[in-house]
Chain A
Amino acid sequence: MDLSSFAGYSIANQLFNTVQVQMDVAGNNISNASNPAYSQQAAVVQPAPPLADVSGVGEVGGGSEVASIQRQRDTYVDAQRVATQGQLGESSTLAQGLNQLQGVLNESNGQGISNTLNQLTSAFASLAAQPSDPSLRAGVVDAASTAAGAINQEYSSLASLRQQADQQASQAVGQMNSTAQSVAALNVQIANAQAAGQQPNDLMDQRQADLETLGTLAGADSTTMANGMVSVNVNGHWLVDQGTSASVSTAQDPLNPAVSSFTWADNGQAFSPAGGEAQGALTLRDQDVAGAMGNLNTLAASLVADYNGLQSTGYALGAATPGGSAFFTGTGASTIAVDPALAANPSALAAAQNPSAPGDGTNATAFAALADKASAGLGTTYTGALSTWTSEVGASAALATQQQTTQQSSMTQLNNLTSSVSGVDLNEQAISLSEYQQAYEAGAHYVGTLDQMMQSLISEITG
């Protein structure tokens, strides 16, 4: 069987088609070079079906054709990226929150509650020597108001931090719901495209970005299935299954109206993230900030109990019977205040331990000595407790920052790995472009030569 005289034109046609596609792919790569979520694409070129089988001689090739446009991607690194985003999201949120928390609880700069309590102790020490001096009595009341005010203030800052963490968790959950919807929709589009024999490269880039977002938000975990779809779950509960997505509802927590509770909409079970910003925010809200609020309440309750205990057994200025107004009112950090009756009348302060003894300052000495004693409610001194809490929150913040740094550098390494496979190198693209250009020129020559040959043949025949 002979070859057609025009077979060469068919080869040339394939060549121009192939080069055109290669040029388009390179152009697309170049225009996406600065997009870190973009994966470099490459035209996979294969030989076109042979023109004919000339027995004894062998096949004559049919030129080239583009088999597919492949996305250059390392799927193993992709899975690691999602997991690392989950850890990084959690530790970043935690580190940021704990840094704010330690700013609120900062006792180590010489300010803070411990400082106001020290001032109160000093005021009592001064009063003890001259218990009937009205200005020293007023000094004690002022110092006590300042201390109570510092506790109120710090508690309200902690409540704002808790609210902030709560909002952060709510936002992460809301964003997780909408991102899950997006992944489900992309699943369907990708599966349809693949079933039609297409390569939905950009959709797959988009879905990978969404999966990483789900990692960052809630530590979600994903598995790719045979049909090209991915299934996503969060801490054992499904989030995306083929083309459907689950969602988490946010409501006011019935047990603690100051915060939100999160439940899976499908079965009403409590939502607990496996990592990510949601986990970081919830840890902050329910452990670190809640713990600090609890500590402050214990401190306030101890102060109320200790100071009122001494006030109730002591004698006001010249009083014949013990007691009278309390020292502090309130039960916790948000309510502790100097008893209004004492604030209005500092002579009600029980500085004496003897009846009708205005010059007796022994109870003022006992008040001053409270700072040195382990308080029953705390098991240690007031400043001992504050110093321990300061160290603890400092250590937590340092640890979270350390973890954030570590995970950030893991992420950088993964970015580099991804980039080395998927990133666009402009030099590489430019070299390819010149290669394609030369192939195109050679093809043009080929057509020219073919043409001349055909001209010669035709002119011989037509005379």
Chain B
Amino acid sequence: MRISTNQMVQDTTANIQAAMDQVQNGTLQLSTGQSVNQPSDNPLAAGQIVDLNSEIEQDSGYTTAAQSGDAQLSLSASVLGQVQTLLNTAQTAAEQGLNSATESQSDLTALAGTVDGVLQQALSLANTQSNGSSLFAGYQTQAPAFSAVSSGGQITAVNYQGDNGVNSAQVGSATAVAVNLPGDSVFDASGSSVFQSLIVVRNALQTGDQSSLSSGLTQLQSAMQTVTGAQAKAGALDQTLQNQETTLASLKSGQTASLSQYQDANMASAATNYQQAINTYEAGIQAAALVAQLPSIVNYML
């Protein structure tokens, strides 16, 4: 084929430009560490990356919800543990008042004072708030769960102000876990009400009414079982959330690994390709330098 002078120059320029393009591409992969820098680099992978990013973000939303539920449930369980300790104190006082016929009324009054203290602390624990929301009020989180009716300086009745609403945390596409225990079923269940039993026991101790004290104690023990049961339930739900957090974390690491397969450049091969592109480019400019120096026949004629 006949080669014109201009063609030599144009071909050399075109080859250098093609090599520059490869160098640019290699630089981009190395500097971003990603093989898909724009959708056309790998359209299918680009779509998968969007999907995976969304799944990862969704799972991190589930994780946030699980952590938040976890915090509420462990606070609930801890509050119920404290209530139990208090109720143990009240139980001991009631048993003391019941067992010893030798106790004087003044001793009984002192025991009644202990039980009244328990009542007040239990009420305050039942009204525990978390981030400004009442923990045991069902959906009525903006008001205290229980309100006390007082007469003569002491609590005579405790009323539940909440409802039986149970809020669930969505912690997986098909997994929702209850994160609150409505207070009526925990503190105010009929026949085993914490507050009612404490009031009965306190009143019986104050008046020395042994038969009322005895039935109050039975109620109190029943209330203690309810609280223990509620604490176990909170613990179990909390455990479910913690397990889910672990599941989500391992899911996320799997998704992150897939994402990396789609979008991350293989640095070893990217570096090799880059070196190759640089070599091609260097060869191209050397060739261009040689073309520029290529002697013409004119050099030998004059």
Interface residues of A (CB under 8 A from B): 33-36, 40, 98-99, 102-103, 105-110, 112, 114-115, 117-119, 121-122, 124-126, 128-133, 318, 352, 354, 356-362, 365, 368-369, 371-372, 383-384, 386-388, 390-398, 401, 412, 415-416, 419-427, 430-431, 434
Q: Is the CB of A130 within 8 A of B133?
A: yes
Q: Closest A-chain residue to B5, C-beta based?
A: A426
8 closest A-B pairs (Cβ-Cβ)?
A423-B4, A394-B39, A359-B141, A357-B139, A394-B43, A118-B57, A391-B47, A122-B61
Total A-B pairs in contact (CB under 8 Å)? 225
Q: List 16 A-B contacts (CB under 8 A).
A: A35-B6, A36-B10, A40-B4, A99-B40, A107-B50, A125-B62, A129-B72, A360-B167, A371-B58, A383-B54, A384-B51, A387-B54, A390-B46, A392-B43, A412-B11, A420-B3
Q: Is the CB of B5 within 8 A of A425?
A: yes
Q: Is the CB of B139 within 8 A of A106?
A: no
Question: B42 contacts the other chain (Cβ, under 8 Å)?
Answer: yes
Q: Closest B-chain residue to A388, C-beta based?
A: B47
Q: Is the CB of A365 within 8 A of B176?
A: yes
Question: B236 contacts the other chain (Cβ, under 8 Å)?
Answer: no
Q: Is the CB of A125 within 8 A of B38?
A: no
Q: How far is the CA of A62 from the CA of B138 in the complex (A)?
A: 122
Checking B2, B60, B130, B139 against A421 with a beta-carbon cut-off of 8 angstroms, the contacting residue is B2
Least CB distance from B122 to A in Å reads: 21
Q: Closest A-chain residue to B142, C-beta based?
A: A358
Q: Closest B-chain residue to A122, C-beta based?
A: B61
Q: Size range of the interface on B?
A: 35 or more
A-contacting residues, B107-164, CB 8 Å: 130-134, 137-142, 163
Q: Is the CB of A372 within 8 A of B5?
A: no
Interface residues of B (CB under 8 A from A): 1-7, 9-11, 14, 36-51, 53-54, 57-58, 60-62, 64-65, 68-69, 72, 130-134, 137-142, 163, 165, 167-170, 173, 176, 179-180, 263, 296-298, 301
Q: Given A121-B58, A358-B141, A390 and B69 touching (CB < 8 A)?
A: no
Residues of B with C-beta under 8 A to A40: 4
Least CB distance from A430 to B in Å reads: 5
Most buried by B among A107, A119, A121, A359: A359
Residues of A with C-beta under 8 A to B4: 33, 40, 419-420, 422-425
Apart from A106-B38, A397-B39, A398-B43, what 12 extra A-B contacts exist at CB < 8 Å?
Answer: A108-B38, A121-B61, A128-B65, A128-B170, A354-B139, A358-B142, A359-B138, A387-B47, A392-B43, A397-B38, A420-B1, A426-B296
